[in-house]
Structure 1
Amino acid sequence: MTTALITGTTAGIGAAFARRLAADGHNLVLVARNTQRLEEQASELSKRHGIRAEVLTADLSADDGIAAVEARLSDREKPVDILVNNAGFGNKGQFPDVPMTDELKMIKVHCEAVLRLTSTAVEGMRERRRGAVVNVASIAAFVPGTYGASKAWVVQFTQGAAKDMAGSGVRLLALCPGYVQTEFHERAGMGADVIPPKWLWLDADRLVSTALTDLARGKSLSIPDLRYKVMMGIVKLTPNRLLAGTSRTGRRPGSR
């Protein structure tokens, strides 16, 4: 039985990945900061799907948290076949009003953790000549802004790594969701004034299903909804000076 490790797994997109992968028969390593919620999730998924679910409490904004997950990914006795780098958050406010410590913490989670965990996971996967990594980015990656810049890095890194790993048996996918009903906006302190209309919201379970289909097809980028694919086509034709104005609203699509 294969094993999937998912970060930021107790809510939103991470929880949807856990449900789907458990239903597909994968054992799980569930990673987040809240031990109690992790244990509840592990117990529920194990009972429902008959799989083994490990709990790993780790804060990926801290070096020791990243190192703990790296150690689990390096365990050759208990190999991880699928890595989902989903942990992330957004800061409320405009540059440069957001405290630098908060911005650096976001970059550590979105960029450093993704780089380190992907690199560690890929080592073992390449030796076994099989494995997959899904790095959750955002459609914000295509819009100017600090949050978007961190997610743009995820997209470019993942697509570059996918190209470099071609023929190795290891697949990499950058997932770029739009707005998804999660705890993301509440945790970021974003009020109703920045919440988009209902027609823009995506279902997390359907999003995950589309992402896994794209991964199986060998794609390195997944924008899992026609609405957002059309929007991204429009974005490519829109001058950056106009897009920059949208980033100042404080909205953070691609939430988890």
Structure 2
Amino acid sequence: MNSGTGKTALITGASSGIGQELAKLFAQDGYNLVLVARSDDTLDRLSDVFKSNYGTQNVTIIKKDLSEEDAAQDVYDQVKAKNITVDVLVNDAGVGLYGLFATDTDWEREKAMIHLNVLALTQMTKLFLYDMLARNEGKILNLASLLSIAPSPLMAVYAGTKAYVYNFTQSLVNELKDTNVTVTALLPNATDTDFFNKAGAENTKVTDEVQDPVMVAKDGYDALMAGKPKVVPGGLKNKSYEVISYVAPQEAMAAVMRDKMSQKPEPDQKSSNVAWGIGFGVAVLAGFALVVAYNNTSEYDRARYRYKLKGLGDNLSDLISSAIDTVIDTYQNAKTKVEHVAAKETPEEVLEEIEA
């Protein structure tokens, strides 16, 4: 049983997913906890688990829907009324919404999403950051997303809110650089939580490649404690996605993301083959656009991209640069294959060429 650190971490969205896994990590390290979510029953159960398994000394439960007006102010007021000093703030609470913006999605749900993902996070940060600066000590973790640096058709408003979170966080990193307060952005790829079910996107292709929330939380926790400005969990693969989002034409990235967010095909073989062919075509077109754009850039722009790669972190730049070279070579080969496919005259010949 740990003796506690005497410090307190406040985690929003703590009842499930990445937020719950982060709460576990803080509990294991002896932090007192303030857990905020809409379900107090779940939080009560978590409180019992943390106290019995990790010896957590103090767990404060605040039931609050942060999508409501001035909810963040109410959370702050409750914390102050209990004389709790928040040493670490984790803005994890957030939701998504799936569908075509113009015709499929509901404005009231979008408005609530913007309030939760943007307004509540910003107000929570402002309130607790002020106190941290007065002490010249503190840490904040904001949950962004890999979608914060790429367009995402079919989740346009969600991606927009996460772009705000990422930009906002990096701006604060600069403002706070001469203090002992740090802010970190967590940019996970699709993660195995209840997010896609709540967003109405449970049958999308991207759900076939979701990542472990335990891993995402651990990478985010380590980066937070190290005071890093951002972290992309999941190793080289996800960091390569980050680099591609910087150098690829936005039209190409939108096409790739549209395919990932599209509905899974029916299980019958014929439909699967057709859908696979369409997906392959989208990927090739996106890749071809990337190659053309890269080959047609000036030496100045190429140098600028290489400079960006070098700034991505310590010993990763060479690995990521190599990954980008591999991606470009792969797309060059794919382009050649598409040219062979285009030369075929019958559907049977086309399918034979694609399956080769």
Fold equivalence (TM over 0.5): yes
Rate the CA distance shift 1:47–1:201 in 2: closer, same or farther, 3 A: same
Give the match for residue 162 of structure 2. 151
CA change 1:103–1:207 in 2 (3 A) is: same
SS for the counterpart of 2:30 is coil
The residue that corresponds to 1:208 in the other structure is 217
TM-score by length of 1: 0.91
| Structure 2 Cα separation of the partners of residues 118 and 251 of structure 1 | 31
What are the residue-to-residue correspondences of 1:1-256 with 2, within 5 Å?
A: 1-51=6-56, 52-74=58-80, 77-97=83-103, 98-144=105-151, 145-197=156-208, 200-226=209-235, 227-248=237-258, 251=261
Structure 1 segments unaligned to the other structure (5+ residues): none
Measured after TM superposition, the shift of residue 36 of structure 1 is 0.9
Q: Which amino acid aligns with 2:65?
A: D
- What is the CA–CA distance in structure 2 between the aligned matches of 1:195 and 1:153, rounded to whole Å? 22
The one-letter code sitting in structure 2 at the alignment partner of 1:212 is Y
1:45–1:234: structure 2 CA closer, same or farther, 3 Å change rule? same
Q: Unmatched 5+ residue regions in structure 2? A: 1-5, 263-356
For the 8 Å contact 2:67–2:115, the answer to whether it is kept is yes
Q: Higher Cα Rg: structure 1 or 2?
A: 2
Q: Distance in 2 between matches of 1:111 and 1:99?
A: 18
Question: Identity, % of aligned pairs?
Answer: 30
How many residue pairs match? The answer is 250
Counterpart of 1:124 in structure 2: which amino acid?
Answer: D
Cα RMSD (Å) of the superposition?
1.9
The TM-score normalised by the length of structure 2 is 0.66
Tell me how far apart the structure 1 counterparts of residues 107 and 169 of structure 2 sit (CA, whole Å): 26
Q: Once structures 1 and 2 are overlaid, which stretch shifts more, 1-10 or 139-148?
A: 139-148
Deviates more, 1:138-147 or 1:17-26: 138-147
Relative contact order: is structure 1 or structure 2 higher (C-alpha 8 Å, sep ≥ 6)?
1
77-86 or 92-101, which deviates more: 92-101
Residues 74, 120 of structure 1: 8 Å contact kept = no
Amino acid at match of 2:216: L
What's the CA shift for 1:216?
3.1
**Is the deviation greater in 183-192 or in 14-23?**
183-192
Where is the strand percentage greater, Structure 1 or Structure 2?
1
Distance 1:205 1:112, change over 3 A: same
CA distance in 1, matches of 2:78, 2:176: 22
In the aligned structure 2, how far is the partner of 1:193 from the partner of 1:148? 16
Greater percentage in helix: 2
